[in-house]
Amino acid sequence: MTNAKPVIKVEHLQKKFGSNEVLKDINAQVNEGQVICLIGPSGAGKSTFLRCLNLLDQPSSGKVIFEDKELTALSEDQLDKLRERMGMVFQQFNLFPHMSIIENIKLAPMKVKGLSDSDAKAKGLELLDQVGLADKADAFPTSLSGGQQQRVAIARALAMDPEVMLFDEPTSALDPEMVGEVLKVMQDLAQKGMTMVVVTHEMGFAKNVADEVWFMADGYIQEKAAPQQFFAQPQTPRAQDFLARVLEA
């Protein structure tokens, strides 16, 4: 991992909503093949940080560099081109309810990449197989459980062959018995070498899958460390306090 090339670089990122400064000064780098888990108390700005990476939220100042391009300086057209290379999975799945599962997956490859219907379909079925839902291709989102929907959402993002996958609390809206199936898919993905940034409250996943844990609080990344080190010996009082509470529960 030492001489891996950087995929995303963040420099002095700041984000304000009105007078509320959510991100104060973030500096970070994600390397190729790395799995980063972002953890921290709610309101720490984890989701906002993730959304600033693909500019769903516009940073107030600072730089986000992806594939050697400064995103905040790009036009909307250029930004669309880069967004397709950053897959994103949302807490609320956000499947398109008016389309079947396979149509959900085919849409972007066909409309953005110009794939033919049959190529997009073949790819979609392969990805559905990968997330264990090959039999649901023609079902509609509302007929699926939350866990199944989230797995479709992952397949949908993968269909664009992204360079990096961003996960925004992917299991927080799920019933407990469905959390496992989604985490399993994410773990497989990590093992295949996908670069991933995951905002999560699943400490087990962070411990077992992450290459690095970033602890966020009060608008800053307070600690970056390998998971074993972070969970065994948190350095900052903020992190010690947080872990004490989480492990107690």
Partner 1 sequence: MKKPWKLLETLLIAVLMLTLLPQTAAADKGQTEQRTDNYLRKVRQKGELVMGTSPDYPPYEFVKNINGKSKIVGMDVEVGEKIAHDMGVKLVVRSMDFDSLLVGLETGKVDMVIAGMNATPKRAQSVAFSQPYYRSEQKLLIRTEDKGKYHNYKSFAGKSIGAQTGSMQATMLKKQAKNVKLKTMDKDNDLVLGLKTHKVDAVSVDKATAEAFAQNTDGIMVIPAGLKTESSATSVAFHKGANSLVKSANKSIAEIKQKDLINKKYLPQAGKYLTSGKTKKEVKASNSMWAYKDFFIAGVGYTLFISAISVFFGFLLGAILAFMRLGHNQIARSIATAYVEFIRGTPLMVQLLFVYFGLGLVINIPALLSGIIAVSLNSAAYVAEVIRSGINSIAVGQTEASRSLGLSRTATMRYVIMPQAMKNIWPALGNEFVSLIKESSIVSVIGVKDLIYQSRVVQADTYRGVMPLVITMILYFIITFGLSSLMKVIERKMNHD
Residues that bind partner 1 (CB under 8 A): 54, 56, 76-77, 80-81, 83-88, 90, 92, 94-98, 107-108, 111-112, 153, 156-157, 160
Which is closer to partner 1, CB of 160 or CB of 174?
160
Separation between Cα atoms, residue 1 and residue 195, nearest integer Å: 12
Which is closer to partner 1, CB of 141 or CB of 227?
141
- The packing angle between helices 117-130 and 101-111, to 10°, is 130
What is the nearest approach in angstroms of partner 1 to the Cβ of residue 10? 18
What is the nearest approach in angstroms of partner 1 to the Cβ of residue 108? 4
Residue type, position 194, single letter:
M
Which is closer to partner 1, CB of 112 or CB of 226?
112
* Concatenated DSSP letters of 49-87: HHHHHTTSS--SEEEEEETTEEGGGS-HHHHHHHHTTEE
Contact residues for 121 (Cβ-Cβ < 8 A; gap 6+)? 102, 106
What is the nearest approach in angstroms of partner 1 to the Cβ of residue 107? 6
Which is closer to partner 1, CB of 91 or CB of 130?
91
What is the nearest approach in angstroms of partner 1 to the Cβ of residue 130? 18
Question: What is the number of residues in the chain?
Answer: 249
